[in-house]
Amino acid sequence: MLRKRLEEVGGAEDQRPSPSSLIWPLLLGERDCYQVMPAMEKPTTTAVDERGSNKGSSTHDRDQGVSDDTAHQISTDPWYQVAFVLTTGVNSAYVLGYSGSVMVPLGWVGGTVGLVLAAAISMYANALLARLHETGGKRHIRYRDLAGHIYGKKTYALTWTLQYVNLFMINTGFIILAGQALKAVYVLYRDDDILKLPYCIAIAGFVCAIFAFGIPYLSALRIWLGVSTVLSLIYIIVAFVLSFHDGVNAPPRDYSIPGDHTSKIFSTIGAGATLVFAYNTGMLPEIQATILPPVVKNMEKALWFQFTIGILPMYAVTFIGYWAYGSSTSSYLLNSANGPVWVKTLANVSAFFQTVVSLHIFASPMYEYLDTRFGSGVGGPFAFHNILFRVIVRGGYLTVNTFVAAFLPFLGDFMSLTGAISTFPLTFVLANHMYLKVKQNKLSTMQKGWHWLNVLGFGAFAVLAFIAGVRLIMVDSQTYHFFADL
């Protein structure tokens, strides 16, 4: 036994990164160099029942083909770090667009009720999903693994497709946002129209790629989550103060909902999709995979933080922007605000860099798949060959993201279409049906009826929102050309 243990320790030491590969880990904490799970090593799991209690080991026949191998960290983060991950997502630079994309098409009453109601139903749906994390006596560290365990291989593949379409579109929107922030800085100092939006989007994609090369996995964000929070507060406070100043000094605003009857209907549906997009990540199991046990209880703490304290900055900037500018509010609030050049520069630069961090969060499931499926699994995350692998693979993924962002730079349309295609099915339809299927023997007839109402209602709204989102893109594509300089 002793000899075997020494051999194991010796083998582990052989896989430690070389001194030349320890530059990046200094930013992350020393333990990150050694706690990455090898790509082909399965985590040890303790069998639990649906409530997370020890129940003796059990496996499900349909677990076959649903892998727990991962090249990234799991079970390392306290609940408050996960709460900051969720809050970073909800207060990303996307919040600078909600005054125009949510409040303008819905108005004061519809927008206010919609924001509160969407928060409530999103909290409920995410809590349902969090409680399924240990279904069947094992941790399901990916959304597709959970769906595959409950339904089988076909739903595993469908969930994977929906999720990665969702995350690809979110990341495309982030690159558009970052490009808009750069363009906003440029026009503050130059009016020659030389630096166009597609060029700014290309620069944004390059910076996002550089960041992705150096941050190997979601748990490694640690200090960057604090930086992201500071950056978020900067552009939210600046947008709030400048909008308040403009609103106090401006003449009465027009708060009527613009457009004819048909466009109002489609805009309302699209705004509804944007509302659910605002609160949901589409990758809750992947985020929950990083949290320390007890995973359900700790995840619920993180969700309560997100949907109470975490959403307050978003509400503040959304309402103040609409109050200040009415129906003329821009889809990027800082473009509507007036103020000192240096203040607007600070806000836009903060929005740019916060977007880089946020994109990394939403790209992490794709990175995890690529690293686990195609990575070597040898050496630490900062070994030269692993860094080179990230440069090639993540660089290629972000190149495609950046091209699509420059090709169709219609941010509001991307938010609506993303909500329709994937946020509704993943967060509301699938979560309710999975909970119904797993807990069916414990639910009353009324409870079953409630979950079926959610499944059918959100499914129907997803279809309507998809039609509205496609229509918005078609209309904007006719108004603007591809690679437009908006």
Taking only the tens place, the pLDDT of each residue in 441-482 is: 898 999 999 999 999 999 998 888 888 878 877 776 666 666
- From residue 413, how far is each of 70, 100, 448, 474 by CA, in Å? 34, 12, 35, 10
Q: What is the mean predicted confidence (pLDDT) over 432-438?
A: 93
291 bridge partner residues: 77
Q: What is the mean predicted confidence (pLDDT) over 199-225?
A: 89
Looking at residue 412, what is its pLDDT? 60
- Tell me if 52 is assigned to some domain: no
Residue 14: band (very low, low, confident or very high) from pLDDT cuts 50, 70, 90: very low
Residue 12 has pLDDT above 80, yes or no: no
Place of tokens 């509704």: 424
Indicate the average pLDDT of the chain: 81
Contact 47, 57 (CB under 8 A): yes
Euclidean distance between CA atoms 99 and 347, whole angstroms: 17
Contact 427, 126 (CB under 8 A): yes
- Tell me if 202 is assigned to some domain: yes
Neighbours of 41 (CB within 10 A): 12
- From residue 373, how far is each of 71, 96, 387 by CA, in Å? 9, 37, 16
Roughly how many angstroms between the first and final C-alpha of the chain, as a whole number? Answer: 68
- Tell me if 25 is assigned to some domain: no
Residue 66 has pLDDT above 80, yes or no: no
Q: What percent of the chain has pLDDT over 90?
A: 42
At 245-259, the pLDDT tens digits run 999 998 999 999 988
Looking at residue 410, what is its pLDDT? 66
In the three-class reduction of DSSP (H, G, I as helix; E, B as strand; rest coil), residue 21 is classed as helix
Closest CA to 283 of 422, 92, 91, 462: 422
- Tell me if 31 is assigned to some domain: no
At 365-414, the pLDDT tens digits run 888 888 888 887 777 778 888 889 999 999 999 999 999 888 877 656 66
Residue 281: band (very low, low, confident or very high) from pLDDT cuts 50, 70, 90: confident
Q: What is the mean predicted confidence (pLDDT) over 280-299?
A: 89
Q: What is the mean predicted confidence (pLDDT) over 300-327?
A: 96
Looking at residue 479, what is its pLDDT? 65
Contact 93, 235 (CB under 8 A): yes
The residue ranking higher by pLDDT, 241 or 259, is: 241
Looking at residue 263, what is its pLDDT? 85
Closest CA to 232 of 114, 99, 85: 85
Euclidean distance between CA atoms 207 and 353, whole angstroms: 9
Q: What is the mean predicted confidence (pLDDT) over 301-325?
A: 96
Euclidean distance between CA atoms 167 and 427, whole angstroms: 13
Residue 426: band (very low, low, confident or very high) from pLDDT cuts 50, 70, 90: confident
Q: What is the CATH number of the domain that holds 253?
A: 1.20.1740.10
Number of domains the chain is built from: 1
Looking at residue 194, what is its pLDDT? 86
Q: What is the mean predicted confidence (pLDDT) over 99-120?
A: 95
DSSP code at position 30: G
pTM of the model: 0.78
- Tell me if 415 is assigned to some domain: yes
- Tell me if 232 is assigned to some domain: yes
- Tell me if 446 is assigned to some domain: yes
Q: What is the mean predicted confidence (pLDDT) over 48-71?
A: 41
Euclidean distance between CA atoms 430 and 128, whole angstroms: 10
Contact 104, 257 (CB under 8 A): yes
DSSP code at position 207: H
Q: What is the mean predicted confidence (pLDDT) over 85-111?
A: 92
At 147-186, the pLDDT tens digits run 999 999 898 898 888 888 888 888 898 999 999 999 999 9
Range of the domain at 286: 72-479
Euclidean distance between CA atoms 7 and 286, whole angstroms: 33
- Tell me if 224 is assigned to some domain: yes
